[in-house]
Chain A
Amino acid sequence: MSGHQNPARLIVPPATPGAAAALTRRGVIAGLAGVAAGATVCRGRAAWAQTPVGLQLSWLHSVQFAGSYIALRNGWWRDAGLEVSLLQGGPNAPVEPPVVAGNALVGISAADYAAAAVAQGAPFRIIGVAMQKNPFVIASLPDNPIDTPADLPGKRIGMAVANTPVLQALCRLNDVDFAAIRIVPTQYSAQPLMAGEVDGLLCWETDLPVAMAMRGIAARTMLMADHGYALHSQTYIATTDSLTNRRKDLVALMAGEGRGWNAYRADTDAAADLTVEMFPDAGLDPATQRLQAERQVPLMFSGLTDAHGFGWWTDEGVQENIRTLSLLGRTVTPDLWDRSILEDVHAG
């Protein structure tokens, strides 16, 4: 890896005590772009055969998965005996099938998609939750703002029709008349909002509003998670078969993820820069990636993850998710979530 020749770039430990403790347990904080040779992390000296492991991402390479890039670049997975390939997603890329087929050990999905796949017979369990808060927002312009669900009636909301149940669920949760909202089917782009074709957009906090900010327009965003829409996103899924037969690999993979994301949180700018550096052909804009990296942090980290570690969830959290899923027409049981891998990760 070319990063080995780069000067050391140490990460400042995070201020929050819990996360700091977690990092102390790991002993060392390694550099993002590679620590100078001779640093504490040993690399490239794996005495045993590396196990090839696929991690299926849910979208194109971007800072959305920067924690994985940090783990990969620093050799944290290799040191644990894993040779991880990060499989890119895309608008027409399969996420769940490679995990079922075994091409990927772990996939990055969301609780609703995982529940849907389980209903179709996929033997999935959620083994980690990267996005504690669901990233869905209603984005609007400052002169015609949508700040609470009560502002929605009478507005034209642009969204992929597939996401209609999401808005319906939000309305149910907040006693808002869904019929009074005009749904406009749009491409997933900020263009209809900026051109005035719609009053609001159903999108992620971390993509279209960031794109608008880079064009000089400070969009208002109403985070649906702040209005009762509890739904784990960017969840790690694995098959029950892997949970039985490949526990060691799963634990090593998730340990690297946790370590990578904690390093990410400590310096999001460095994480964004690493992302741009690792994928020079992805057309990534450094400023956009830095802003997106910053906006992801409050969705991924909370008092809960500070106390228990990256990716954690509670039984109450699961119950809230089950309630939201039932509004989306999905019946699931708490069995969908399996915390045993994370328990091993954070115990060791």
Chain B
Amino acid sequence: MTTLVRRAGPAVLLLAMWQLAAAVAAGQFVLAGPMAVLAWLADNPGLITRALSVTLTNAAWGFLAGNLAAVLIAVAGMLWPRALGLLTGLALVVFCLPLVATGPILRVMMGPGNGPQITLAALAVYYTTLIPLLAGLRAAPSVWFDLVASYGRGRLAALVHVRARASLPYLLAGLQIAAPAAFLGAMVGEFTGAERGLGVLTIRFTRDLDVPALWSVAIVAAGVSIAAYLAVGALGRRFRLERPPVILAPPRLSRGSAASRIGSATVLVLAVLALWWGGTEALHLNPFFARRPPDLLAALTSAPDAAATRQALLQAAAQTAALVLPGYLAGLALGAALAVLLFLAPVLSGLVTPLAIALRSVPIVTTAPLVVLLLGRGAPGTIALVALMVFFPTFVACQHGLGQAPGQILDILRGYAAGPLKQLVHVRIPAMLPAFFASARMGVPAAILAATVAEWLATGRGLGNLMVLSASVSDYTMLWLTVVLVTMASALCYGGVAWIERRVLRVFAPEQVDR
């Protein structure tokens, strides 16, 4: 009986809070309570089931394709370490491309059908899997690699016997974040002109002001995301029977000099330009919407309105930056703090974890008006949305990271009767740092994406608004300029976080640095 109460208690509490919130917000047309949602679902079982099966199928294909791509990139990077920098650089650039711009271009290229939905779902997941996977592939004691080497075996053997096993918990953390992300990616893909699916219904019900229907769709989407998250988590626990080993690695000095860093960055930029220019030419994309690098260069330098173009871009970028930075930092702090809090007080986990997943899984299109109602149309609303997007992957990663604390060291602390707080400070938080920084890096593009989406939907300022506005008036030069700017800014900030990360991890997790 008591276990039943303990199990069902948080869920009942959440439902009660939700119903109460709906009652408070009645008349504002932003939130429907659980009763209204249940009634709507009971009335429209066929509609919602068909839409769900379409979106779920697309999300599943995207999940599969995206994660497969991540694994292939990671494996290639481990076998040819020289290519790793270029591969992850290209992967980052593709991940930083704003959905608002890639969606319509995918639609033109792929025509009607499910292509853009599956592609956007894959794009939403491959990077969040790749980064934890790369961290995991390094998370092995250096003596193990020495052992492989002493048998005269090479990188492939190290990958199969050491790295693959070491990476499993990290891979599963990535997959866990990927599951809800794939679903959201497929829904956003439907905005580009799909015939059916939950995203299509979201647009319809938003415009029809059918709040119970809108929240029913949101709840179904969130429910599926939570189920997928929990299923991957359950799978993960099967692989986590062994306690993580102590990872000792000698601190290394940075291998790359400043000159070689600049060199590899140049190679990356050239590769991106070649792919962009070559790709648009090879696919015969019409220059009306598929602009080439020289078009953009001309628009910024030699065109008669070049000065106005530059100013519009910089102004929008400044507006966006003012929202991204506080939201990003708040999201990181919140995610890490919550993971630590749940470690200290696991009782709260049953209440907080579902709420955290739900907050992240409910489509941003649905939550944006609610956040705006609570926090207003100004900066706080957008900052909150950015924080929400960054918070969840950080939270998941940090939870996994806390679990990576080496068992032997914990045993020593327990032997000295050190309490949970001491264990946390001396063992678990240092063990959490690689995961935290991995999510901090991934959070950069996510934060910029969240800000631009919020600007598009709620505030009408900044780069998000500029992108949508340019697309609507066929100003594809400006659209591509914003894409390049957003991508460059994401990549540079990412590099900045990576710089801090290297300095911190050199002390706490040297195996992650420069190998």
Interface residues of A (CB under 8 A from B): 60-61, 85, 87-94, 96-98, 100-101, 103, 113, 116-117, 119-122, 160-162, 184-191, 194-195, 207-208, 211-212, 214-215, 279-285, 288
Minimum CB–CB distance from A144 to chain B (whole Å) comes to 16
Nearest residue (CB) in A for B284 is A101
**Does B104 touch A at the CB level, under 8 Å?**
yes
Known: A100-B289, A120-B474. A281 touches B47 (CB 8 A): yes
Give the top 4 A-B pairs by smallest Cβ distance, nearest first.
A185-B460, A161-B460, A93-B193, A281-B196
Nearest residue (CB) in B for A122 is B288
Give Cα A284 to B208, complex, Å.
9
Interface residues of B (CB under 8 A from A): 27-30, 47, 50-51, 54, 99-100, 103-105, 107-108, 111-112, 188, 190-196, 200-201, 203-210, 213, 285-289, 368-369, 373, 377, 457-461, 465, 468-469, 471-477
A187 touches B457 (CB 8 A): yes
B193 touches A191 (CB 8 A): no
**A188 contact set on B, CB distance < 8 A:** 207
A60 touches B200 (CB 8 A): yes
A190 touches B203 (CB 8 A): no
B204 touches A282 (CB 8 A): yes
Give Cα A162 to B469, complex, Å.
6
Interface centre among B51, B191, B200, B459 (most CB of A within 10 A): B200
Minimum CB–CB distance from B220 to chain A (whole Å) comes to 13
A189 touches B206 (CB 8 A): yes
Give Cα A188 to B213, complex, Å.
17
Minimum CB–CB distance from B267 to chain A (whole Å) comes to 32
9 new A-B pairs (CB below 8 Å) besides A120-B473, A190-B29?
Answer: A92-B100, A92-B188, A93-B191, A97-B104, A101-B108, A160-B460, A280-B50, A283-B205, A285-B210
Minimum CB–CB distance from B288 to chain A (whole Å) comes to 5
How many A-B Cβ pairs are below 8 Å? 163
- B54, B288, B289, B368: the one contacting A187 at CB < 8 Å is B368
Known: A94-B289, A185-B460, A195-B373. A288 touches B192 (CB 8 A): no
19 interchain pairs (CB within 8 A)? A87-B112, A88-B195, A90-B191, A92-B99, A93-B192, A96-B288, A97-B108, A101-B289, A116-B474, A119-B474, A120-B476, A122-B474, A162-B469, A187-B458, A194-B27, A195-B28, A214-B208, A215-B29, A280-B47
Minimum CB–CB distance from A97 to chain B (whole Å) comes to 4
**B472 contact set on A, CB distance < 8 A:** 113, 162
**B469 contact set on A, CB distance < 8 A:** 161-162
**A195 contact set on B, CB distance < 8 A:** 27-30, 373
A285 touches B193 (CB 8 A): no
Nearest residue (CB) in B for A210 is B208
**B105 contact set on A, CB distance < 8 A:** 94
A90 touches B203 (CB 8 A): yes
Minimum CB–CB distance from B377 to chain A (whole Å) comes to 7
A120 touches B288 (CB 8 A): yes
Known: A122-B474, A185-B461, A281-B50. A162 touches B286 (CB 8 A): no
B107 touches A94 (CB 8 A): yes
Nearest residue (CB) in A for B104 is A94
Give Cα A92 to B285, complex, Å.
19
**A160 contact set on B, CB distance < 8 A:** 460
Nearest residue (CB) in A for B206 is A189
Give Cα A87 to B196, complex, Å.
12
A208 touches B207 (CB 8 A): yes
